[in-house]
Structure 1
Amino acid sequence: MTTRHPRKPLSGLALAIALATGTAVVATAVLPAEAQAQRAKKRDKKKKQDEGAPELSDEFRKAFLPVQEGMNGENPDYAALKPQIEQLIQIAQSNDEKFFTGNVAYNAGARLEDQTLQLTGMELMLAGGKVPADQLGRYNFIAYQLANGMDQYDKARRYLQASIDNNFTTDTIGRSDLQIAMAESYFGQNSVQQGLDYLSGAIADKKAAGEDVPEQWYRRGITVAYENQVTPELYDMATMWIADYPSTSNWRDAINLTRNLNTFEGGEILDLLRLSRRVEAMGDVSDYEYYVEAADPRRLPKEVRDVIEEGYASGTVSRDNLYLSEALELASGRIESDRADLPALETDAMAADAGLRLVAGAADAFLSYDQYAKAETFYEKALAMPGVEKNEAQLRLAIAKIELGKYDEARELLAGIEGKRAPIAKLWAAYADAEQGSAASPMTGG
């Protein structure tokens, strides 16, 4: 009887797998020759040369050898070998048997363009625990690709997470790519909340590691949350986005998203547009019209005058705009007398018997005149009075404190705001962070 020698011993098996081709192959596993196995059995157990050899049953060895020969021969007939491989799949029990079977199943599946057989083979190799540690990420990634291509999303995500956990990367695929692919897998199944939770967790992990978060992560999360009206996750994602990428256009988008998802009343839209004004995101004439309407030139004349003149200076507002030009005229005519009344207003509001309306009105007036310390005093007094509109006063107190550089106090106030002003408060908190960061980074001269 002629002994057939294997092409390559198991100990030297190459396990490199090409990626993203759908037809990637691994080196076909081979069994130790039968003659070698017989000689090994005759040696003394203490000196046997097959120590550590694969754990293979006689039944498996007998079924595997014809498959091995067929696949190692010239012009293998993979279609004819498939039933024999499927038989191996049924009888493979030990980890070694699973690895050998998975190896040939994956290779034959690749040649036959049979994704089911490929995936079965990859799963067997992984289940057998014989994949080298430095290849686990790669093998799991291929399993993810196959399962995902077959719409087996839960399984695909398990393998994708395993590839992430095993630090799989290539020259063109980074950890960030894998993480966004995981979020997209949830989004693709319309599991929006799970996808957003995963994405938020990945963002938190990056921040904890001191790494930059790709802007596309924020944009994708915001888009999905906005389209599905998932809040407060949308606001959380938007505030993190503008904190990391605080461009004027990003601020404008974040503010507009908040406006579009809510129906704000006059006082609420005023506090939002006050922020828009500070970050120079007043990009449309309607922004100025809404601002003026909410502020009211009869009530807050200086603030109305200032914002209209800023609109003129930026070129956003035309002097032919009749509504704004009339508002400017009205506001300008009231400022002198209004300013003259401020000392008396302050005295009256400081009185022990001052009513809530008077105290809150004084706070609003001093805020509009940029007298933030006095505004702070009266908002704090108002918040201690029964019947106060807590969320409004608390937000405006936070604005005053931001202007005074009391950022920690402002953030504490903003964190406690509820109801319709909560998303506005989140944006103001992001602004507080940005202002504090700017204050902590003094400019250097040349």
Structure 2
Amino acid sequence: MRATFGLIGKTAMALVLATSIGAGALTVGSTAAFAAEKKPKEVKAAYSKEFITAAGPIQKTVTALDEAKKKGATPEAQKALLASAGAELAAAEATISTPLDRMAAGGWAVSIGGVLNDIGMRQRGMKNMLDSGMVPEASVNDYQFYLGNFAYSNKDFPVAIAALTTVVQANYKDDTAAELLADSYSQQGQNAQALDALRNALTMRKAAGGVVPEAWFKRANVIAYKNRLGPQAIEWSTMMVENDPTALNWLGAAQLVREFGTFTNQESLDLGRLLLRSGGFQNDPKYVEREYIEYIEAADPRRFPGEVLKVAEIGVKAGVLRANDPFVADAMAQSKGRIAADKASLPALDREARAGKDGRSAVAMADAYLSYDEPAKAEEMYKMAIEKGNIDKDRALTRLGIAQVDQDKFADAKATFAQVGGARGSLARLWSAFATTQARP
């Protein structure tokens, strides 16, 4: 059967990508007051004579700037005071020879760079402060984070990666650190490393008993999806929906599994069943209309009339499908005309399935029971079919797991889904994630 609906151009995954973090780069936070808030490590140190001489002009300029700030000078007036600051700072930096020289020059660069909005200057200053060895140990990760921030904004991605890697490994408090690190890798075309960075951040956060932010999953999905990394896109979307099982996340994950999989109608049928049970259909009609059609086509009123009628009626009631649409009307009419005879044939088919030498009749009987919402009978028949053999075992295991989910046997279902391989492996993992979410209190 063919649907009369046109293909929907914008999928739910596209919506997730568009609304989660946007198409542009990450936003780096302001650190204008950063240098003033941190005190250097208490160590015996001294300025070099050369630095004291060379730093005189920049120190005088910084003092004038501080006085102007206290008097409420406008940003424009502050910038005017710094007309020669760049050259003065460079002269002082050229004479650095002690840790204290480097710490002082770095602090000036961060402060002046903030007024001038010179990210390169701020990056250089933060690097000097860290290289001085005078940053208090408890503040090193803060300084590294800001260095990574500045380097990222300055598109100096190698420096951003070096700075942020240690920060993320330390399970840094600012969630943006992991995203900045991942995007720094991605900007250089190192997308696998970007996803590894987010995975490491996730591992560290979970090990510390913390909450993994949804933004990390979304960032990983963006990277994997845009770069056509199918297995990783499926993996991260599955983890995201397990972490945050919203209707939109379920729809997006299901669409990714189909897009990067090799599905026939049989796999599409079980994907539709997942969308129905998970709430994935409870989205804007323009995102789920095609999904309803896919489900109805895969179920086929000639094979599973009861299930087709149920799904079509749900779609009509939700305002997604129109009862007078030729495709919908035909599917419903065919289903209504077949249900009575189909149900009447079940007892004889059940006896035939039990007497069969292989599992083919049993799996067909199990499919019928599952389509009529009789999961206990379906579970029994799928187990019988698997034991007798000569069937598509991965398909039978998938549907056995579905029957177990329908009976709230979530641990059994997850164990069953774990046995599924081949083209159905990613679909089974998504079903397993659903079982996990349903098992929660």
TM tier, shorter chain? 0.7 to 0.9
2:343 to 322, 336, 339: 339
For residue 405 of structure 2, what is the aligned residue in structure 1? Answer: 402
2:251 counterpart of 1:252: yes
For residue 383 of structure 1, what is the aligned residue in structure 2? Answer: 386
For residue 229 of structure 2, what is the aligned residue in structure 1? Answer: 230
CA RMSD of aligned residues (A): 3.3
Structure-2 change in CA distance of 1:26 and 1:435 (3 Å)? closer
Cα offsets for 1:279-320 (capped at 9, x unmatched): 343344433332222222222222122222222332322221
1:292 to 290, 296, 299: 296
CA distance in 2 between counterparts of 1:149 and 1:395 reads 47
For residue 265 of structure 2, what is the aligned residue in structure 1? Answer: 266
3-state SS of the aligned residue for 1:387?
Answer: coil
CA distance in 2 between counterparts of 1:316 and 1:79 reads 63
Cα offsets for 1:240-292 (capped at 9, x unmatched): 22223222233222222333334521111111001112234334443333222
1:64 to 34, 40, 51: 51
For residue 101 of structure 1, what is the aligned residue in structure 2? Answer: 102
- Structure 1 residue identity aligned to 2:232: E
8 Å CA contact 2:55–2:88 kept in 1: the answer is no
2:396 counterpart of 1:393: yes
Structure-2 change in CA distance of 1:109 and 1:402 (3 Å)? closer
Structure-2 change in CA distance of 1:344 and 1:354 (3 Å)? farther
3-state SS of the aligned residue for 1:175?
Answer: coil
CA distance in 1 between counterparts of 2:86 and 2:270 reads 71
- Greater relative contact order (Cα < 8 A, sep 6+): 2
1:160 to 161, 164, 177: 164
Cα offsets for 1:12-53 (capped at 9, x unmatched): xxxxxxx846797669x9xxxxxxxxxxxxxxxxxxxxxx74
1:127 to 108, 126, 131: 131
Shift of the alpha carbon at 1:191? 1.9
2:175 counterpart of 1:213: no
2:333 counterpart of 1:329: yes
- Structure 2 residue identity aligned to 1:404: Q
2:418 counterpart of 1:415: yes
State the percentage of identical aligned residues.
Answer: 31
- Structure 2 residue identity aligned to 1:189: Q
8 Å CA contact 1:183–1:199 kept in 2: the answer is yes
CA distance in 2 between counterparts of 1:327 and 1:24 reads 66
CA distance in 1 between counterparts of 2:220 and 2:335 reads 43
8 Å CA contact 2:357–2:388 kept in 1: the answer is no
2:358 counterpart of 1:355: yes
2:156 counterpart of 1:148: no
Structure-2 change in CA distance of 1:387 and 1:100 (3 Å)? same
Structure-2 change in CA distance of 1:221 and 1:108 (3 Å)? closer
Structure 2: tracts of 5 or more residues without a match:
1-28, 65-81
Structure-2 change in CA distance of 1:200 and 1:79 (3 Å)? closer
For residue 92 of structure 2, what is the aligned residue in structure 1? Answer: 85
Cα offsets for 1:192-227 (capped at 9, x unmatched): 221122223323333344433333332222222222
- Structure 1 residue identity aligned to 2:255: N
Shift of the alpha carbon at 1:81? 5.0
Relative to structure 2, which stretch is displaced further, 199-208 or 158-167?
A: 158-167
3-state SS of the aligned residue for 2:411?
Answer: helix
CA distance in 2 between counterparts of 1:82 and 1:177 reads 31
Cα offsets for 1:155-195 (capped at 9, x unmatched): 22222344556787xxxxx5112222222222222322211
CA distance in 1 between counterparts of 2:59 and 2:395 reads 78
CA distance in 2 between counterparts of 1:416 and 1:214 reads 30
Cα offsets for 1:336-386 (capped at 9, x unmatched): 2222222222222112x4333212211211211222222112212222344
* TM-score using structure 1 length: 0.74
For residue 370 of structure 1, what is the aligned residue in structure 2? Answer: 373
CA distance in 2 between counterparts of 1:185 and 1:64 reads 35
CA distance in 2 between counterparts of 1:166 and 1:365 reads 53
Structure-2 change in CA distance of 1:130 and 1:384 (3 Å)? same
Shift of the alpha carbon at 1:432? 0.9
* Higher-Rg member (1/2): 1
8 Å CA contact 1:99–1:124 kept in 2: the answer is no
Structure-2 change in CA distance of 1:53 and 1:181 (3 Å)? closer
8 Å CA contact 2:106–2:129 kept in 1: the answer is no
8 Å CA contact 1:394–1:417 kept in 2: the answer is yes
* TM-score using structure 2 length: 0.75
8 Å CA contact 2:48–2:101 kept in 1: the answer is no
Listed as ranges, the matches of 1:417-432 within 5 Å are 417-432=420-435
CA distance in 2 between counterparts of 1:264 and 1:372 reads 24
Shift of the alpha carbon at 1:66? 1.5
Structure-2 change in CA distance of 1:420 and 1:123 (3 Å)? same
3-state SS of the aligned residue for 1:318?
Answer: coil
For residue 16 of structure 1, what is the aligned residue in structure 2? Answer: none
